[in-house]
Amino acid sequence: MELFSLDLYLSGLHYFTNPMMFLSSFLGVLVGIIFGSLPGLTATMTIAVFIPFTFGLGPIISFAFLLGLYTGAVYGGSISAILINIPGTPSAIATCLDGYPLSQQGRAGEAIGISTVSSAIGGFISVIVLVFAAPLVASVALKFSAEEYVGITLIGLSIIAIISPGSTVKGLISGVIGLIIGVVGLDPITSYPRFIMNQVELIDGINAIPVMIGMYGLSEMLVQISDTKYTVIIQQKLHKLIPSLKDMKRIMGTVIRSSFIGVLIGALPAAGGSIASLVAYGQEKRFGKRSELLGTGIIEGIAAPEAANNASTGGALIPMLTLGIPGDAMTAVLMGGLIIQGLRPGPLLFQQQMPFVSSIFISLLLSVVFMLIIGLLGARSFARLISVPKNFLIPAILLFCLVGSYAISNSIFDIWVLIISGVVGFILRKASFPIAPIVLGMILGPLFESNLRRALMLSEGNWATFVQRPISLFFLLVVVFVLAGPIVLKQGKRLFTK
């Protein structure tokens, strides 16, 4: 595969002679910003709810819409963070620290303008890195065998458990739940039915989409019904939405530095925009020219997290597209949408479906452009959406969840899966168990199992095969470091402090 051939990147350009590509990307960004700006409606939930509505479309048009949702929702979380101090998405948590103080100073329009431009620059940089890094990673991954895939899936599973908020044990338990759900259905090697409980609908396994919608959508609505936290009504006047040249000069260094931080952290399996934005904010606190003013309402405090969390979108697509390992919870759901369309992410996707991969690059760039335009022109309207009463909003979202789950295969069984998943997700959230490891476990579990058993069959049961191959051994050492590293460092600190 030629890595830097211009034809490689333009092979999907002919798809964009179809106006539907532009329309689907535009609608995706618009809907994503709307949902992202509504407190509590996460980007992951937004993508999960709308995946079933893309089934009647071709994979290229549907993925343009989903990438628009992805880009728009990540950006949209900053609007409520700035206006009412409630992050619309988890990745906008750091934006609250300076965004809300700015709005309290009567500079909400300026804050949203800085957020929009910083997000667009971060997204643009992430597209450039994705375009050049993804084919390179894919060319290396083509040399992977079953042993290497066992290692890389273990890395994904271990990282998502470790970085989950709260208890590491709870993160691991959530991951195991996802793995258990993933083994339901026919055995991938022998086709023997497992855990189907005489239910014909379970022969092909539990459909991932209703589980995702239930875990992220329905459970979130149940949490909000039981919580009065999101009843804030905003009253804001917006002006100066387009940043001045002076402001752009002031934030440009911050934006570029934070964008590369976002891409790098986004490319780590299961890290995502939340960590990227917090790290970027921390680096601004450390290296910024006005670091002592962070938290009081300065534009650098908005530019850093927003550039980082939007740059993480392209970064998170790198492991998803090249290795079949989701970069975060959002790309885990996107990966489910790809699989349903009959496309398996991984190095072979670059070898066999390069025009489709090229269309992803162009669609993501188009989404960033639409995000900039819609964000600047529609900020006043989106600000009003935040005041929508919950008694109207929640029933509408619940209806989307039900219709979306049923639309997958016109099956009432999928609605039951949605309801059970939603109730289980609600209970887990209330018990402070993270949801993301469950989704990752469902997706990575079957991939891990099939490759593990294939490797053992080819090696005639010799477990040493996993340490005899250099790349496989490296991945296993990374897993050991991820799981044992924090404990070793903690013990080391205790020894040195004595």
* Cβ pair 309, 111 in contact under 8 A: no
| Domain ranges across the chain | 6-497
Contact 130, 317 (CB under 8 A): yes
Global model pTM greater than 0.85: no
Looking at residue 1, its pLDDT comes to 47
The string of pLDDT tens digits covering residues 7-17 is 566 777 778 88
Bridge partners, 348 (sequence order): none
User: Please, which contacts does 130-133 make with residues 24 or more away whose CB atoms are closer than 8 Å?
Assistant: 130/314, 130/315, 130/317, 130/318, 130/361, 130/364, 131/9, 131/361, 132/4, 133/267, 133/318
Side-chain half-sphere CA neighbours of 20 within 13 A: 10
- The vertex-180 CA angle with 268 and 46, nearest 5°, equals 55
C-alpha torsion sign, points 119, 28, 425, 176: negative
Name, of 215-229, 326-340, 425-439, 479-493, the range with top average pLDDT.
425-439
Q: Distance between CA atoms of 87 and 76, rounded to whole angstroms? A: 9
User: Do 86 and 95 touch, CB atoms closer than 8 A?
Assistant: no
Mean pLDDT of 242-251: 82
Burial class (CB in 10 A: 0-12, 13-18, 19+), 67: buried
Q: What is the pLDDT of residues 317-329, one digit of tens each?
A: 888 888 777 767 7
What's the whole-number mean pLDDT along residues 144-171?
71
Question: Which residues lie below 8 Å from residue 224, measured CB to CB, with a gap of 6+?
Answer: 40, 230, 390, 394
**pLDDT at residue 6 in the model:** 58
Q: Measured between alpha carbons, how far is residue 157 from residues 165, 273, 444, 483 in Å? A: 15, 18, 7, 10
**CA 302 – CA 298 distance, rounded (Å):** 7
- pLDDT band at 121, cuts 50/70/90? very high
88 or 165, which is more confident:
88
CA gap 265, 249 in Å, rounded: 25
**Average pLDDT along the chain:** 79
pLDDT in tens, 383-403: 565 556 667 767 877 877 787
Q: Percentage of residues in the chain with pLDDT exceeding 70?
A: 81
Specify the amino acid at residue 468. Answer: Q
Window from 185-189, 266-270, 351-355 with minimum mean pLDDT = 266-270
26-83 pLDDT, tens digit per residue, is: 999 999 988 887 765 667 778 878 887 777 778 888 888 999 998 998 888 888 778 7
**Cα-based torsion angle of the residue sequence 428, 332, 210, 356 in order, rounded to the nearest 10 degrees:** 170
Burial class of residue 123 in the structure, from the number of CB atoms within 10 Å of its CB (0-12 exposed, 13-18 middle, 19+ buried): buried
Q: What's CA 457's distance to the chain center, in Å?
A: 35
Confirm if 118 and 250 have CB atoms less than 8 A apart: no
How much is the pLDDT for 268? 67
Measured torsion, CA atoms of residues 282, 284, 288, 293, in degrees rounded to the nearest 10: -70
For 454-473, give one letter per residue: b (16+ CB within 10 A) or e.
bbbeeeeeeeebbeebebbe
Q: Answer yes or no: is pLDDT of 235 > 60.
A: no
pLDDT at 368: 92
User: Please, are residues 231 and 102 in contact by the beta-carbon 8 Å criterion?
Assistant: no
Band of pLDDT at residue 234, cut at 50, 70 and 90: very low
Could you give the CA distance from residue 322 to residue 351 in angstroms, rounded to a whole number?
11
Asked if residue 309 has pLDDT above 90, the reply is no
Q: What is the mean pLDDT of residues 177-200?
A: 86
Q: Which residue has the higher pLDDT, 172 or 379?
A: 172
Q: Among all chains, which residue has been given the structure tokens 């989701």?
A: 326
